[in-house]
Amino acid sequence: MTGDIYQIELFFISRLPRLLAILCTGFGMSVAGLIMQQLCMNKFVSPTTGATISSAQFGILIALLFMPASTIWTRAIFAFVFSILGTIIFVSFVQKIQFKDVVMVPLVGIMFNNIIGGVTNYIAYKYEMTQALSSWLVGHFSSVIRGRYEIVYMVLPLIIIAFIFSNHFNIVGMGKDFSKNLGVNYNLVLFCGLAISAMITGSIVVVVGSISYIGLIVPNIVTMFKGDKIRGTLIDTALFGALFVLICDIIGRVIILPYELPIELIIGVLGSILFIIMLFYRLNNGRKAIALKIGGKCSCSQ
């Protein structure tokens, strides 16, 4: 790039925005997943297995439908509102039913996801908008250029807010009675936490589209090693998430050079494999086995 104006321009218009978008996506999706998991006391809840991503997509479709000339900001607001609504409906549903088996929660979430996705697809077909919508259904970074991605920076202040209130989220995750004992307003904090996760997800979906599994897998891997205290894991989770997305992006770009595979495809493949491994591991060993192995202490009397 020695003095080559064209190269420098390319760098600032496309390369740098792409890198920043990747980082923000990695930070955002993994932190959103972390918060949702802690608040719901369930390791299988995430923007993918909750209804957050599909609700955000539905919101974008509604924005495209009723306001065809809408800017990315209007679409983002629609995505926020719908993803918050969808997440809260899902969480209140899950809390009301109180499943005996924790694995039921993501299953219900995936069903709920598919219902919303089905409605989205139906409406998109009916109004011949499938093509316009496809950009948000499959996440990819190839359309990230200057002027069209800045909304993804929204995740940074939201993550900072999440960090400040991390102890509140932890306490709410310990249950309703526990929160009340410590003078924490359970419903308010639960709502705010879910809203933050949903807004993070919404601002990513509106720029790069659906990025699944990161919010599920990254927090799980980090908490296995570092415990559930959000203060201590939030930064690690964010960095690990960014690394994960970055690696997936590189794989997507080199695998069929000179063409590019959408990142959602790579993450989908890698993520679903990891998810299945994690599922089996949790089912066979429970949480305790992981803790003992990492801690290296086996004096547990249970």
Q: Dihedral angle at the C-alpha atoms of 227, 50, 141, 159, nearest 10 degrees? A: -50
Among 31, 168, 210, 263, binds another protein (CB under 8 A): 168
Q: Residue 95 CB, nearest distance to another protein (Å)?
A: 14
By CB under 8 A, tell whether 164 contacts another protein: yes
**Contacts with another protein in 83-122 (CB under 8 A)?**
none
Closest CA to 115 of 86, 148, 145: 86
* 15 or 288: CB nearest another protein: 288
For CA atoms 100, 102, 107, 110, the dihedral sign is positive
Smallest gap from residue 238 Cβ to another protein (A) = 18
Q: Which stretch binds another protein (CB under 8 A): 90-98, 127-135, 164-172, 267-275?
A: 164-172
Q: Does residue number 126 form part of the binding site for another protein (CB under 8 A)?
A: no
Report yes or no: 75 and 60 within 8 Å, Cβ to Cβ. yes
Helix (H, G, I), strand (E, B) or coil at 80: helix
The DSSP code for 15 is I
Told to check if 291 binds another protein by CB under 8 A, we report: yes
Q: How far apart are CA 242 and CA 88, in angstroms?
A: 26
Q: Using CA atoms, how far apart are residues 190 and 40, in angstroms rounded to an integer?
A: 9
Residue 289 engages another protein in binding (rule: CB under 8 A): no
Does position 295 interact with another protein (CB under 8 A)? The reply is: yes
Residue 301 interacting with another protein (CB under 8 A): yes
Cα torsion through 161, 167, 171, 172, rounded to 10: 0
Q: Pattern 222-241, binding to another protein, x per CB under 8 A?
A: -x---xxx------------
Closest distance between another protein and the C-beta of residue 210, in Å? 29
Closest CA to 219 of 195, 236, 202, 196: 236
Determine the residue type at 188. Answer: L
For another protein, the closer of residues 115 and 182 by Cβ is: 182
Q: Is 220 in the site for another protein (CB under 8 A)?
A: no
Contacting range for another protein; rule: CB under 8 A; set: 134-142, 166-174, 234-242, 262-270: 166-174
Residue 97 Cβ vs another protein, minimum distance, rounded to whole Å: 17
Q: What is the DSSP secondary structure assignment for residue 154, as one 8-state letter? A: G
Applying CB under 8 A, does 36 fall inside the site for another protein? no
Binding residues for another protein restricted to 241-260, rule: CB under 8 A: none
If binding is defined by CB under 8 A, does position 185 make contact with another protein? yes
- 23: Cβ contacts below 8 Å, ≥ 6 apart: 242, 245, 246
Candidates 167, 255, 280, 283; binder of another protein (CB under 8 A) is 167
Q: Does 300 bind another protein (CB under 8 A)?
A: yes
Task: Kindly give the interhelix angle for 130-137 and 104-126, rounded to the nearest 10 degrees.
Answer: 150
Placement of tokens 């809840």 in the chain: 45
Q: Could you list the residues that contact another protein (CB under 8 A)?
A: 41, 164-168, 170-171, 173-175, 177-178, 180-185, 223, 227-229, 287-288, 291-292, 295, 297, 300-302
